[in-house]
């Protein structure tokens, strides 16, 4: 759904820039609980970015105003993550040094963490330099310690190439960190807009938008339930539509006659549970919603609810289950030729492969997403899919494949109006292509593509003159 794809697209662009622009010290990301899994996957994937020279270390400890210190636990995870990275680095010909035994717990956990980080920086060899510390707290509160502790750490390691990514879900208690660390920061809003999500649900699944007349009829009953007592109709009342009449209109009798209300209760209940951090309960309730959809014989609605269920599985730290649900949704979408949704699912599957460091499979998913989006006449989604495929190919030193994907993205926007093209990520694609061409000393073609990027951003026609700097 666009409501989910757009914030992830913004995050992809910003974190990719953070990997390149090493002068940036902090990337602050605010996202939604139902996107936290894909968001973290996109961020961690930048460790493999061609331009990145730093090791990434991630910490999910809750950030509370009071409670036990967390830096001793973070030291243990920092030590474990470094040890886990060493074999893979050695396979790539990068033999980093040993940092000795795991540090013991100390009263001043922050000092212990800083000492261990210093050992890791000292043990690095070329081309490695610095580190990226990712703080993605499961929960945050007003007045939490990281507000004062992170600026202290940043001052201590200002000259050693240590940088920071802070990811906050459904809160903004850490939003003052960019100001505290100075101007060399980047802020990314990767939240799901509730109104856009509601519109997506209505557009894809036929869910009644807010403000519309409520669904009428008897309350939904599961198979085997006893009969309701229904009052006799009033004189002159229009008789309810028969099941045959509803089916003739492409509507599910079970959905119209009370099922929609039951589905709304389950979906809203699951969303509220997720918002409260009760991810396991949210998964269970959303699974009930998806199972209910199966009884309606309304494939669009079923696929949408499976996609939501998969995102909840990610929030519950169950990526394997999320992949299973996405694959089930994909099979259903392809069976019923729901190409727009199938393209989005391919993007999510690609993100899961990126998370598991399977770039070849991820690129294949992104390319398939681009093809399906083109068939679905969804140019914005198609351009984004081809852009992501090209970027990942470039990150994995496959320049030829990157050029192929990015050229496909540029071909998608050719028939679009300037306003339609402006709504896509085509400018970033054009600049990426220009950068590759310039490396091959094709400066005239690179200049032309950069002018194209400018025209698209400004909503100008393709033949509009562009003043050279």
Are β-strands 131-135 and 162-169 bridged in parallel, bridged antiparallel, or unpaired?
parallel
Both structure tokens of 276: 């409260």
Q: What are the CB-based long-range contacts (under 8 Å, 24+) for 231-238?
A: none
Separation between Cα atoms, residue 122 and residue 181, nearest integer Å: 24
- Residue 92 to residue 102: CA distance in whole angstroms: 25
Which stretch of DSSP H or E encloses residue 259?
none
Query: Per-residue pLDDT tens for 315-354?
Result: 788 888 989 999 999 999 999 999 988 998 998 898 888 8
Residues 6+ positions from 240 with CB-CB distance below 8 Å: 217
Q: Are 402 and 425 in contact (CB under 8 A)?
A: no
**How many Cβ atoms from other residues are within 10 Å of residue 156's Cβ?**
14
- What would the pLDDT profile of 82-114 be if each residue is shown by its tens digit? 998 888 888 888 899 988 888 877 777 888 898
Strand partners, 165: 27, 134
Preceding amide of 127 cis, omega within 30: yes
What is residue 27's DSSP assignment?
E
Confirm whether pTM is higher than 0.85. Answer: no
- Look up the CATH number of domain 2-192: 3.40.50.300
Q: Is residue 4 within 8 Å of residue 192, measured between CB atoms?
A: yes
CB 298, CB 306: distance < 8 Å: no
Q: Name the 3-class secondary structure at 186.
A: strand
Superfamily of domain 337-469: Tetratricopeptide repeat domain (1.25.40.10)
DSSP-derived 3-state class of residue 190:
strand
Instruction: Please count the helices (runs of H) and the strands (runs of E) in the chain.
Output: 20, 5
Using only C-alpha atoms, the chain has a radius of gyration, in whole angstroms, of 25
Q: DSSP of 215-279, one letter per residue?
A: P-SSPP--TTPPPP--PPPPTTPPPPPPHHHHHHTT--HHIIIIIHHHHHHHHHHHHHHHHTT-H
Burial class from Cβ neighbours inside 10 Å (0-12, 13-18, 19+) for residue 212 reads: exposed
In contact, 46 and 163? CB cutoff 8 Å = no
Q: How far apart are CA 17 and CA 309, in angstroms?
A: 31
Distance CA 416, CA 466 (A): 20
- Residue 41 tokens read as 């996957």
How many other C-beta atoms lie within 10 A of the C-beta of residue 145?
17
Q: What value, to the nearest 5°, has the Cα angle with vertex 462 and ends 458 and 466?
A: 60
pLDDT in tens, the chain (469 residues): 556 667 877 787 788 888 878 888 999 999 887 677 778 877 887 887 767 889 999 998 888 777 667 888 889 999 999 998 888 888 888 899 988 888 877 777 888 898 899 999 999 998 899 999 999 988 888 888 888 888 888 888 878 889 999 999 888 889 899 988 888 899 998 887 666 655 655 554 444 444 444 444 444 445 555 555 555 655 555 455 566 665 565 566 777 667 777 887 888 788 778 767 788 898 999 999 899 888 887 788 889 889 888 888 887 888 889 899 999 999 999 999 999 889 989 988 988 888 788 889 999 999 999 999 999 998 888 998 998 899 889 888 888 999 999 999 999 999 999 888 888 888 888 888 898 888 888 888 888 998 998 888 888 888 888 766 5
């Amino acid at each position: 759904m666009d409501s989910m794809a757009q914030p992830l697209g913004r995050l992809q662009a910003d974190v990719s820039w953070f990997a390149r622009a090493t002068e940036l010290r902090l990337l602050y990301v605010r996202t939604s609980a139902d996107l936290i899994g894909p968001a973290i996957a996109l961020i961690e994937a930048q460790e493999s970015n061609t331009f990145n020279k730093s090791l990434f270390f991630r910490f999910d400890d809750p950030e509370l105003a009071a409670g036990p210190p967390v830096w001793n636990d973070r030291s243990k995870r920092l030590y474990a993550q470094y040890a886990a990275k060493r074999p893979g680095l050695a396979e790539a010909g990068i033999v980093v040094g040993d940092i000795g035994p795991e540090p013991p717990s100390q009263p001043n956990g922050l000092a212990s963490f800083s000492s261990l980080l210093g050992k890791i920086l000292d043990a690095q060899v070329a081309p490695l330099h610095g580190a990226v510390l990712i703080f993605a707290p499961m929960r945050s509160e007003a007045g939490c310690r990281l507000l004062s502790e992170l600026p202290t750490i940043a001052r201590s390691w200002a000259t050693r190439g240590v940088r920071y990514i802070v990811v906050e879900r459904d809160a903004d208690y850490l939003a003052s960190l960019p100001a505290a660390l100075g101007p060399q920061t980047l802020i990314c809003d990767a939240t799901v807009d509730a109104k856009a999500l509601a519109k997506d649900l209505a557009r894809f699944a036929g869910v009644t938008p807010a403000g519309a007349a409520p669904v009428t009829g008897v309350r939904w009953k599961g198979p085997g339930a006893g009969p309701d007592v229904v009052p006799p109709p009033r004189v002159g009342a229009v008789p309810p539509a028969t099941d045959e009449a509803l089916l003739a209109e492409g509507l599910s009798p079970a959905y119209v006659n009370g099922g929609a209300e039951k589905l709304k209760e389950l979906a809203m209940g699951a969303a509220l549970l997720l918002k409260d951090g009760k991810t396991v309960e949210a998964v269970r309730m959303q699974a009930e919603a998806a199972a209910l959809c199966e009884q309606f014989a309304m494939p669009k609605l079923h696929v949408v609810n499976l996609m939501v269920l998969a995102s909840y599985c990610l929030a519950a730290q169950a990526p394997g289950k999320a992949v299973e649900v996405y694959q089930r949704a994909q099979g259903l979408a392809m069976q019923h030729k729901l190409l727009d949704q199938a393209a989005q699912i391919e993007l999510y599957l690609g993100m899961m492969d990126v998370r598991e460091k399977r770039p070849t499979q991820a690129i294949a998913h992104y390319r398939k997403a681009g093809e399906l989006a083109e068939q679905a006449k969804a140019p914005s989604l198609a351009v984004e899919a081809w852009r992501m495929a090209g970027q990942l190919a470039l990150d994995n030193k496959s320049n030829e494949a990157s050029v192929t994907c990015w050229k496909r993205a540029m071909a998608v926007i050719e028939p679009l109006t300037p306003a339609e093209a402006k709504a896509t990520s085509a400018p970033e694609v054009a600049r990426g292509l220009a950068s590759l061409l310039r490396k091959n000393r094709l400066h005239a073609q690179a200049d032309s593509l950069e002018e194209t990027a400018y025209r698209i951003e400004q909503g100008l026609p393709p033949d509009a003159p562009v003043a050279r700097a």
